């Protein structure tokens, strides 16, 4: 994208634009955003969708190799923290991969293997502290830097001139790195793609694990993943802003990129903090005084991996809250005492038919003097008597 001459051994300064940065720059287009990066001094601007493609492809390869019954894509630090906060029971069901910005940075470094490259990520993903990323800017700070230098996004071109821009299309992925339903069904027609959203997504997740649903579950939206398009509705906005889906992979398959999240020895079930203990119930611990035959067993056993009882406790806790009275509800709801109905006199009903009573007789008024009146037959006017 850059027009400035650079030597083959010279450093290259590139920027990776996250999904939340694209949303923060609206109504500016992605092309105008790339021109703004060039005006700031970057040689190239790459989309974070490249990382989505790598994460989705890695997820599909994992599903083909391991064929788990119920799998949870965990490519976001928010997702991993939320699922392991109450313990490590869900780890056997999680597909743990790197976040899309990290995958995109590793791909860029593999593409510029013969040159020094400085990578800046614009976005709020907490995974940007990876060694593959040199610097990070929040979307708000990036827009402030444009304003300080007098760069107006609306005044920048909406197309590229004599430059081949980076391909922003998708083939495997959706925002956040989850594979599309079409590619998921291509590898396993029976596996469904389930997107969980809402505050009670853990209860729904526990139900699907207990029923062994053959699905790939995406909880990134519920966990607040910025790469997936959080808050609600942002994923559909990102898809609408992107070019039509590609018919073939857009990344170079000869570049080897490792999308594994943690090196050997690093645990993702580091334990719970004191702040998290108040939010999620801990898994039930066996009583050492009980006999071995009375020790609680896992809820469901499948291929040596127990279904987490802690998440079954989430569901039981939600049912108890439904049955329990509401303590701090607004007084405008059902907790307000209902007013008693006013006392009304009781009128007994009689089974006897009422007797017929004729209406009272009302005599006709006398005729006024000097007025003509008709005879009883109504043929001709008759003068009143006395005239």
Contact present, 180 and 173 (Cβ < 8 Å):
yes
List of the chain residues with pLDDT < 70: 1-10, 162-163, 262-364, 367-387
Residue 293: inside a domain: no
Q: Is residue 174 a part of any domain in this protein?
A: yes
Q: Residue 187 domain-assigned?
A: yes
Radius of gyration of the CA atoms of the chain, in A:
37
Q: Is residue 80 part of a domain?
A: yes
* In a domain? residue 46: yes
pLDDT of residue 355: 52
Which residues have CB under 8 Å from 13's CB, separation 6+?
41, 42, 43, 117, 118, 120
Residue 260: phi, psi to the nearest 5?
-70, 140
A 10 A CB-CB count for 291 gives 7
Residue 121 belongs to domain spanning: 12-262+303-322
pLDDT tens, residue by residue, 311-353: 455 455 555 555 554 444 333 333 344 455 445 544 444 445 4
* DSSP reduced 3-state for 215: strand
Structural tokens at position 255: 């570049």
Does 104 reside within a domain?
A: yes
pLDDT, position 318: 53
DSSP class of residue 72? E
Tell me the three state secondary structure of residue 118: strand
pLDDT of residue 8: 54
Residue 378 placed within a domain: no
Predicted structure pTM score: 0.68
Query: Distance (Å, rounded) from C-alpha 90 to C-alpha 85?
Result: 10
- Give the pLDDT of residue 358: 63
The CA-atom distances, in angstroms, between 14 and each of 17, 21, 43, 51, 78 are 10, 15, 6, 15, 26
Structure tokens given for 196: 């969980």
- Total number of domains in the chain: 1
pLDDT of residue 369: 64
| 294 occurs within a structural domain | no
């Amino acid at each position: 994208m850059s027009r400035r001459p650079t030597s083959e051994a010279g450093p290259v300064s590139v920027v990776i634009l996250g999904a939340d940065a694209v949303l923060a720059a609206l109504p500016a287009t992605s092309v105008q955003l790339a021109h703004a990066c060039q005006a700031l001094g970057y040689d190239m601007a790459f989309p974070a969708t490249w990382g989505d493609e790598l994460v989705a492809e890695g997820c599909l390869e994992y599903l083909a190799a391991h064929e788990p019954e119920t799998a949870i894509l965990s490519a976001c630090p928010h997702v991993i923290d939320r699922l392991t906060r109450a313990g490590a029971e869900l780890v056997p069901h999680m597909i743990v991969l790197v976040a899309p910005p990290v995958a995109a940075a590793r791909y860029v470094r593999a593409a510029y293997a013969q040159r020094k490259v400085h990578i800046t990520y614009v976005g709020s993903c907490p995974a940007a502290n990876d060694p593959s990323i040199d610097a990070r800017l929040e979307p708000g700070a990036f827009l402030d830097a444009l304003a300080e230098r007098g760069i107006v996004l609306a005044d920048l071109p909406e197309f590229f001139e004599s430059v081949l821009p980076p391909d922003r299309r998708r083939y495997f992925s959706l925002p956040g790195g989850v594979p599309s339903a079409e590619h998921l069904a291509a590898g396993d027609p029976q596996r469904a793609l389930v997107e969980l959203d809402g505050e009670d997504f853990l209860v729904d997740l526990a139900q699907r694990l207990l029923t062994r649903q053959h699905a790939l579950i995406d909880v990134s939206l519920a966990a607040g993943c910025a790469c997936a398009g959080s808050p609600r509705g942002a994923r559909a906005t990102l898809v609408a802003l992107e070019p039509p889906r590609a018919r073939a992979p857009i990344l170079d398959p000869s570049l080897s990129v490792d999308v594994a999240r943690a090196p050997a020895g690093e645990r993702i079930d580091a334990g719970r903090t004191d702040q998290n203990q108040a939010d999620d119930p801990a898994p039930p611990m066996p009583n050492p005084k009980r006999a071995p035959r009375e020790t609680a067993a896992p809820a469901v056993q499948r291929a040596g991996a127990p279904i987490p009882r802690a998440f079954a406790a989430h569901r039981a806790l939600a049912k108890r809250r439904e049955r329990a009275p509401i303590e701090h509800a607004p007084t405008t709801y059902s907790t307000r005492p209902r007013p008693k109905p006013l006392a009304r006199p009781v009128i007994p009903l009689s089974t006897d038919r009422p007797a017929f009573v004729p209406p009272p007789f009302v005599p006709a008024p006398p005729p006024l003097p000097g007025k003509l009146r008709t005879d009883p037959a109504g043929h001709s006017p008759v003068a009143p008597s006395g005239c």
